[in-house]
Structure 1
Amino acid sequence: MSTPHPLDPLTTAELSAGRAVLAEAGLVGDTIRFPQVLPVEPAKDEVRAGDADRRIRYTLLDTATGRAGEAVVSVSRHELVSWDDWAEAEGQPAYLFEEYDLAERLTKASEQWQAAMARRGLAHRIEHAFCAPLAPGYFGRADETGRVIRSLTFLREDADDSPWAHPVEGLITHIDLTTREVLRVEDEGDVPVPAEHGRYTGVPARTSLRPIEITQPDGPSFTVDGSEITWEGWRLRVGFNAREGLTLHQVGFQDRPVLYRASVAEMVVPYGDIAPGRFWISYFDAGEYQFGKNGNNLRQGCDCLGVIHYFPAWVADDHGEPVEIPQAVCLHEEDDGILWKHTDLGGRPEVRRSRRLVVSSISTIGNYDYGFYWYFYLDGTIELEAKATGVVFCGAGATGQAQPHATEIAPGLFAPVHQHLFCARLDVEVDGERNSLYEVDVIGVPTGPENPYGNAFTWRSTQLRTEREAMRLADPSRARVWEIRSADRVNRLGKPTAYQLVPRPSATLMAQPEASVHGRAAFATRHLWATRFHEDERYPAGERPNAHPGGAGLPEWTAADRDLTGTDLVLWHVFGPTHVPRPEDWPVMPVDRSGFLLRPYGFSDRNPALDLPAGHHC
């Protein structure tokens, strides 16, 4: 077997070998579980030297005691590198898959819950009830210490029915996963369960759509060597881990570096409803549930269309054993309309069509599905598009009665207003490791000597010199972008080569500063953060957002206010939809798109796509 590249995803052999080292060290037992298993990415100089130690970071949880810790194993040397007991640490590891089932079993076995169901006249529907396992956030309650979870109840007509249409409003179960007991059951109100089903399959298909065939008779234009992709001036590596899912590494254009690493490092989903069953909802889908561990096995012709190359991924299950996702990442090309066109004075048109390379993955976490699509364009632009779909999370209410925090999307079914705030971590290296950050605004010039006709406007570049200065909001009224400039290279015009982060402005965190989620998801209060690279600063809400009181991650790191001039920069960009649900989102939601661009600005000396061939009819 060939030696993996230092940044390659973990293999099944490595996961098995790492678990064996832990077993030899006495760290594996009947009650030990593995909430999170991740590759340890080597230091940058080791990666560039090409001879790095392959290591795995294991989070271990003793389900009998609730104690957790972290072990680092070298699979290259077959040895335990370190063991850190988290006994007094704040926050909890991510949830186990088996804890989802445990929460439902404990709920259904609870006499309090059974009594609440009987009081509501629902005892006959217990068999097919679905008890959703939901992260409780953090509220400092005396009975919610250690490893806890909450559960809301939904009804199904049979085992295959979609439960989300039938919420049992006001029924909340509080569970201690370590002691395996129901702490208490809240039973608020007597709202009827909505009756209309939420099935979205079995609808007679329309017959008016004619087939579209996508063919590449000579094969795709990309080449793949292990995890490395080469395509039309682009070179990059594909990674995958249990927490972030899809990651990109060593992204370069025209044999020049642009990004060292890119990922969606976290997402928070705060709800704006004050009802007892929803005011506490603020899921951290990477840190509490994990994008990669919930990754889809993609299907050709459905999730991806065209001439496809798939990358497999291996993650560890709750027992630390390797599990394969055979088609975790999809790679393909697709047409993207016109890239450039002009008709000159003689009437002769010249047009070249755009094409983009697509690297994508999809994760399903509870009721929502998230697709992450990285696009690479022929002109050097990079785009990330996040697609949110699935089923909106609902409560019940009186039909026709307006609610201030939720919209009625079906009779008696109310979907609360909420947000999906993604945070992309962009370890930039535009023409090298030494970069500086600027904010560029387009501004009007006051009428006067410098603007005698009132029409003038210009642009203003402001260097963001420190981490505190770089805590920024987008401003579409000024066409605001953020520019990453090389400290070492200039173009033929004598200007630093650069890339611009172009936001698609959206709301930041709507919760008030007094809210629990505001402290836990402080990263979502700004569209942009920038930090000086540190290998231990990986997740914007910290290592363990589950049940964490707040303050970890970006607020903690940027308190040092480190200098950002001509250094190794990491940008953290927050984006995503603020969702006021609509009837068209039911019973399954059309894709809601969000994202951003990274586009070259003086990186090339002229249009890098002038050499594109004309089409047959152009």
Structure 2
Amino acid sequence: MAALSSRVNAVARHPLDQLSPDEVRRAVDACKCYASTHGVGALRFNTVMLREPAKKALLAFERGCGPRPERIAEVVAIVPSASTAVEALVRLQEDTPPTAAAAAPPSSPEGLAAQIESWKILDGVQPLTSPDDNTLAEVVVKSDLRVAQLLAERYGITDVANQLICDTWACHNAPEHLNHRRLMQGFLYLKLDGKYDNEYAHPIDMVPIVDLNLGKVVHIDMYDKPSTVNRQSVNYHPSLVDVAARPWRDDVRPLHVVQPQGPSFSLYGNELSWQRWRMRIGFNGREGLVLHGVSYKDGGRVRPVLHRASLVEMAVPYGDPNTPYIRKCAFDVGDYGFGLCANSLELGCDCLGHIQYLDAVVNNAKGEAVVIRKAVCIHEEDAGIMWKHWDCRTNHAEVRRSRRLVVSMVSTFMNYEYALYWYFYQDGSIHFELKLTGILSTSVAPAGESDPPFGVRVAPGVNATVHQHFFCMRLDLAVDDTEGGRDLVVSEVESVPLPPGGPANPHCNGFLMEETELLSTTAAQRNHNFNTARFWSIKNPFSINPISKRPVSYRLLPAASPALMAHPASLVARRAVFARRQLWVTPHSESQRYPAGEHVVQSNHCLGLAEWTKKDQSLRGADPVIWYSFGVTHAPRVEDFPVMPVEVCGFSLKPDGFFTSNPAVDLPPCRDPASKEEGVPQNQNQIQLITTGGTAVGGAAGSACCLPASKL
């Protein structure tokens, strides 16, 4: 199977493998040819990515009872001359060598390398803004004469080319007279201390809005009176950190991750295996990392857990209701593309240990393939104790350490980094974690303001505004669904106290777990409730646990997540309906991919979940899809500047009656020979567990708990 890393031009052998650079080229050539022959005009490409096969067709192919699905490219492009956009589906033949593909131009009627299957004009919506759109918008702002004039008049800045920085965002809450145009807004900063200066320490108040199709600034928001620019250096780059005032720490000693025999995982093309886990790694420009066909091998049986899982939307509303920051809100997945903004990761920095990377293939505005090297990191790591028990009667302890497989990526959206981690554990559990870091998006304090009412002062005259981050996952579970397409049931489980007194609860201590099946799309719109230990169970009624006699299931365990602070009448609440609830469940539909809608830039209402759930649909026999939302409220701290320590949020999927006992009880006893007790000679460290026998050195639990039975 075709590996993404170092073989991105190889034949894509599995229907879920991302497009190769050659497939991107052929799809783009076909679109250019169609546009030319139909008088459409020049195209500016947003996304060129795989249109995944329909679920039923894919499952039939993987079970060996259906044909190989066709390779289809989904192309979204802008037609700047017509101020419109198009979506094309392009049928691709199997990858051919570049020389052969070049010999058969896409316009040739015989043996087309790529063929237009559909061509749709996108009326009334704006596709995502690509990295090239962001670059274009910044160039337009820095070239605008009015912007240059205001910089000189208000701040005395004349070196626009070297000192002005423009963070370009999709335009939330566009001015009424402009909302039909393709817009980007720019939050402006200054570099005052050279190339690596932290511009977020020097914000200014002007927010220009650019018409991308016209290539010009069409509106500028600003304070009535100019505010004072902070001139103080607040930096994190090594070349600008004042090490005389704050020297580098000298008490940090090396900590190495060493695996003398190599890692326990293997990668064949995009198919990843680690101990009992199997999955396929996918990637596209919008969602970034996608997991397909996640399964767990249990006693010789391969048992499905997840059909597909990915991060499908985000909303980041800011709390300042004043001009010019009323437009400050980002839908990062739909506005910019989590995959398009992926980082190239670095060995020994972003990831530690024995690493395997996967490259990603995306595209630029010209339609050329762009390879993001090392976009996905795969490694394993220690995860503390998996289980332990010390038998006080025999003075014997058994303990097993846990390790986990980590599949991760990092994306940067101007100031913010979002680090995405999937963790797979040896007991069948899955944890998803998002780490938020980067730099706060700052603003200049209005003239005369002594203390910011909507945030905190992080540098002289520099405000950091309170804001929220909401993430939405699309989880298509396949709990023990070995047949493919069986209909699962989602239920809510919570602890309920029994009525006090009476024969059922005479001592008033009784409580039980109560389960309620969520059988319609309205009933399945739920929030967490930590007072009742609420979680959600995804059950397979066609597979019964032989011990509990209940359907096998996986629990969706929520973590702390805030309520959306914006009023339901606000624009962000109307667009980000997914953020109003933690749980949504809908019947599976190939067309329902993104909870805020297919194209969310400058939308004025939700084009996804709100539309799909207008009618209360039954979830009985509906192959349910879970949309799980979670996030954080970020009340900035001074300690978050000039660069922010991570904020963490996420959720867990945990087997519940999926196995017949603890699936990690078969982990072999082991002891790390590299571990040592400080102050004890190395030769004594090596024999300590054998010789102490639970006496003073090892304590009661110091018996040979980690040694094979032959050593006891």
The two structures have a TM-score, normalised by structure 2, of 0.84
- Determine the structure 2 residue equivalent to 1:164: 200
CA contact 2:444–2:463 (8 Å) conserved in 1: yes
Aligned with residue 56 of structure 1, among 73, 85, 90: 73
Distance 2:34 2:215 in 1: 28
Say whether residues 1:391 and 2:439 are aligned partners.
Answer: yes
Distance 1:399 1:486 in 2: 62
Distance 2:572 2:508 in 1: 46
- Determine the structure 2 residue equivalent to 1:230: 273
CA contact 1:116–1:187 (8 Å) conserved in 2: no
Say whether residues 1:518 and 2:540 are aligned partners.
Answer: no
Secondary structure at 2:352 match in 1:
coil
CA contact 2:131–2:340 (8 Å) conserved in 1: no
Distance 1:325 1:399 in 2: 46
Distance 1:469 1:289 in 2: 33
Structure 2 counterparts to residues 60-71 of structure 1, below 5 A = 60-71=77-88
C-alpha distance after superposition, 1:288-345 (max 9, x if no partner):
1111011111111011100011111111111111111121111111000100000113
What displacement does 1:420 show?
1.0
- Determine the structure 2 residue equivalent to 1:36: 47
- Determine the structure 2 residue equivalent to 1:259: 306
Is there any run of 5+ residues in structure 2 with no aligned partner, and where? 1-9, 63-67, 94-112, 242-246, 672-688, 690-705, 707-712
Secondary structure at 1:137 match in 2:
coil
Distance 1:53 1:106 in 2: 41
Which stretch shifts more, 160-169 or 537-546?
160-169
Aligned with residue 494 of structure 2, among 412, 416, 441: 441
Aligned with residue 296 of structure 1, among 332, 336, 343: 343
Matched residue type, 2:129: Y
CA contact 1:502–1:597 (8 Å) conserved in 2: yes
What displacement does 1:601 show?
0.3
Matched residue type, 2:121: D
What displacement does 1:347 show?
1.4
Which stretch shifts more, 93-102 or 223-232?
93-102
- Determine the structure 1 residue equivalent to 2:220: 185
Which stretch shifts more, 183-192 or 493-502?
183-192
C-alpha distance after superposition, 1:552-581 (max 9, x if no partner):
101111123222134311111111111000
Secondary structure at 1:124 match in 2:
coil
Distance 1:399 1:166 in 2: 17
Structure 2 counterparts to residues 193-212 of structure 1, below 5 A = 193-202=229-238, 203=241, 204-212=247-255
Aligned with residue 363 of structure 1, among 411, 426, 446: 411
- Determine the structure 2 residue equivalent to 1:408: 457
Aligned with residue 325 of structure 1, among 347, 372, 375: 372
Distance 1:407 1:121 in 2: 23
What displacement does 1:100 show?
2.2
Say whether residues 1:583 and 2:638 are aligned partners.
Answer: yes
Distance 2:451 2:498 in 1: 47
Distance 2:258 2:448 in 1: 50
- Determine the structure 2 residue equivalent to 1:21: 30
What displacement does 1:400 show?
7.9
Q: CA RMSD in A?
A: 1.7
Question: Which of structure 1's runs of 4+ aligned residues deviate more than 4 A?
Answer: 27-30
C-alpha distance after superposition, 1:456-497 (max 9, x if no partner):
221111111001111110111111100000021001121000
- Determine the structure 1 residue equivalent to 2:538: 484
Structure 1 pair 544–116 and aligned structure 2 pair: CA distance change class (3 A): same
Say whether residues 1:247 and 2:290 are aligned partners.
Answer: yes
Matched residue type, 1:472: R
Distance 1:27 1:213 in 2: 57
CA contact 1:437–1:565 (8 Å) conserved in 2: no
What displacement does 1:231 show?
1.2
- Determine the structure 1 residue equivalent to 2:173: 138
What displacement does 1:46 show?
2.1
Say whether residues 1:105 and 2:139 are aligned partners.
Answer: yes
Aligned with residue 276 of structure 1, among 323, 334, 342: 323
CA contact 1:340–1:351 (8 Å) conserved in 2: yes
The two structures have a TM-score, normalised by structure 1, of 0.96
Distance 1:112 1:185 in 2: 9
Distance 1:78 1:439 in 2: 47
Secondary structure at 1:220 match in 2:
coil
What displacement does 1:193 show?
1.1
Distance 2:150 2:506 in 1: 75
Matched residue type, 2:314: M
Matched residue type, 2:236: Y
Say whether residues 1:47 and 2:58 are aligned partners.
Answer: yes
Distance 1:214 1:159 in 2: 35
Matched residue type, 1:80: I
Paired residues, what number? 615
Is there any run of 5+ residues in structure 1 with no aligned partner, and where? none
- Determine the structure 2 residue equivalent to 1:592: 647
Matched residue type, 2:545: N
Distance 1:66 1:591 in 2: 40
Distance 1:498 1:98 in 2: 45
C-alpha distance after superposition, 1:193-239 (max 9, x if no partner):
12222320224431211111111111111111111111121110001
Distance 1:16 1:491 in 2: 50
C-alpha distance after superposition, 1:437-461 (max 9, x if no partner):
0001112223121322122221111
What displacement does 1:131 show?
1.9
